Structure 1
Amino acid sequence: MLQTLLVDDDILSLNKMQTFLADLEFIHVCGQLLDGTGAIEYLNAHGDSIDIVILDMEMPGASGLEVARFISKHQLPITILVISNYDNFEYVKPILQAGAYDYLLKHELSRTLLETKLSEIRLYIDKQQLHQKQWDQMCQLSKQQYLRNLVLNYDIPDENRHFFASDPLLCGRRHVAACLQITNFSSIYQSIPDERHQKVVNTVLHFCDTFFTSLQRGIITHINYGEFLVLLSFPDLTSEAAILQTASQDISLLKNNLRRYLSIHTFAESMPVFDSVEHLRPYYLKIHHRLQVKPFNSDSERPAEKEGNSVLLLSLQEENELSESLLHLNEKKVTEIVTHILIQSDRRTSLFLDFSASSCV
């Protein structure tokens, strides 16, 4: 339902409009005010929740034109319908220029006319919301691509750099970034048809976008092969300890939600606090390398050796190379990789046994 505010200093006119609107299922009258000053105060407190203002031109205190200018100045997502006593376009022209959608004459006002105009406004609002949603999606994709190009050192046109330098999420804030890696992604990737590969990535991106929208401080982009870059921005925190603690909580909650709702297990490596996204690449390279060589399995993040047991766990890089070789039936490469892994495993075991023996002595 469209939340509608009625503003008119004529109480009879207010009651008349309320009666006309009572039967419209898509309209909810959320308030009635008798002067423009009260309307501005109301909009200052509740403007983000109002869809339509039906507004008289001449009122005590602030005029209808001043109310319209307040709405325009503060960029409130409100559609204004003007009610005028005067059948003179020049009289209402200033308020239309200030952003009002249209006007109706009081002496011609009827239930049918008001319903027709509000139905037209409803279609207009639906179209505006659709355009805004499409614009937001396009901006989100552009920011994701910009971050990916930045950390992978791809060419970025100067105009793009200038554009994103003014983005509220990317400038004037302190940031923490993290790499998020889907556990055993190569196994998952090769167990599904080719046409579903991108769907896995898109599902994670969409889920995380929704999560970060609720936080109002994050953005995620897919780098490659199940690895995602997460950028968290903190405009209000100055303490590095507080920023790192909040970022750690955000990443932990995200990982838990991915596991809970999508059954996707992930690992993460975080960066220090930094001030400009232009400094992102060196930090990314360090944590990307740590992810590539980090031993892991699909159940939990645990070290390769625990309580005296030497456990053979492949790193992400080893798993990817082995999976690709098996997929392409490259017997020679498979043999080389497996031999290398077994040699490394023997070295780990030998080092562990040497250390245990020296400890006993």
Structure 2
Amino acid sequence: MIKVMIVEDDVLVRNNLKYMLSTELVSAVGSAEYILCGEACDGQEALDKISDCSPDIILSDMKMPNIDGLALCERLHIEHPHIQFIALSNYDDFNYVYGTLQNGAVDYILKHKISAVTLKEALNKASRSLTQSPKQPDHMLDTNNINALKQEFLIQLLTCFYIDDDEIAAHIQTLKLNLDLSQVLVMIMCIDDYQSMDLKKTTLLRFSVNNIISEILEDQQNGAVCPIVNEKYAVFLSFANIVSQKKIQDIIQNTMTRISSCMKNFLNLSVSFSIGNICSHIQQLPQSYQQAEKKLKTKFYYEAGAVFTSSDEQQDAAMLNYFDIQKESTLTHLISIQDREGICTMLSQLFSEIRANKPPLAIAQMVFTDLLSLINKICKNHSIDLREVYADPILPDKHLSDFSSLSSVQEWLLSLFDKLCDALAMREALPTSIYVKEALAFIHVHYTEDISLSLIADKINISNVYLSKLFKQEIGIGFAEYLIKYRLKLAQTLLEQHRLSIHEIATASGFKDYIYFLKTFKKHVGVTPTEYVKKTPATFDR
């Protein structure tokens, strides 16, 4: 195996390179041909670590503080000529490239062009230039193995796996962890609004988050981190020989601030924390973790970036009937008269009550389900296709289980009631004749098909002329205009989801001719479908 050191002051670029080296190249080759033996944020730190890491290849940025990449390349050429140097830079400048290559660099990669392929090509070129003299057997564990052992050990600390202090101390020393046997705590960092993703993205996210937190704790020399599951990470902090409780609290606060800032700046993530009690002995960590986990269960009722501590009171929630028959009756009336402001106010009051009492999630889930049931009942009573309200292939119950905060549920349900009012508005002039009711019901079910006034008239056994006259009298607009408006309203709803292509949306809303759809949409809505998408946020972003 060939050992590689990464020298880069940009944390995000460094993490990306580490991920390519430890994951993507291994997947492509099938084995760990190149291993990460060390990393540094500038040339001086790299020179200081060379004796310990013994790299074969150094992958280095050019513009860095203290000693930059060009100066590092010059020093290596003189002091460590056996080490192969690959330059990274944002500068496509011949003089800079020439100067680096003159001092021994075997290759040069522009950052905006780097990928697993280009990285592997550069590493292969550097490996061919390595000294051909026999190398001593390398008994060191590679970085991937060490990290895996660290994470396994930390998980075992949280599950009462160890009962012997000497064994714990030996593992801490072997794995070079910044932990002590006393004055330790664990806190859970949880990614807010976490969304499930494919395996590759999940692996990259976990890798990046773990590396960023590890670098912060390594800099502070007071802790360790390991992933728990999906959005949760256990952060261990050690306070040996610190007596002042104020100083301990300041360290905890500073650590959370640094982690939150880096997550936001580098990964655009918001995170919350749940802090366990400080343990006088490291074997008490499982209890500390359980306390943090218990407090985190109320996270649903808080906004992003919340912090839960041992001082937070855990009071029993009142088992109230939050959405009783009277409230359901009032909300039904507000919907029937399409009082959007009244609906918004009532929902705000309902959710404020839930937020204040923080009932068990099962109780809150029952309220949400009751609200969805009311929507479904009204749709059924008014022959409204559920797709007009939900306009999404995912079942409403599945949506509820995906939401990570009460605010996101409130926003989503309010959007559903708003669409319900839109659907009712399409039927604002409620028909009195059975023929018009049947005509509307047919449109709402068969709008994607090639339907016409004469087709529906035949279905309900009346003449075209009579149906056209009744339709205009009771709905206020003609049959053709109503059908176009109905289809366009559905198209707008689908466009707001940002899930289907415009061509697919045209077909899904009943327009067989794509060009006709574009012209009709622009004529009635005032903008093109593309312009409408750009100025409309995705409805179900969480």
* TM-score normalized by the length of structure 2: 0.33
Which one scores higher on RCO, CA 8 angstroms, separation ≥ 6? 1
Structure having the larger proportion of residues in strand: 1
Compare CA radii of gyration and give the structure with the larger one. 2
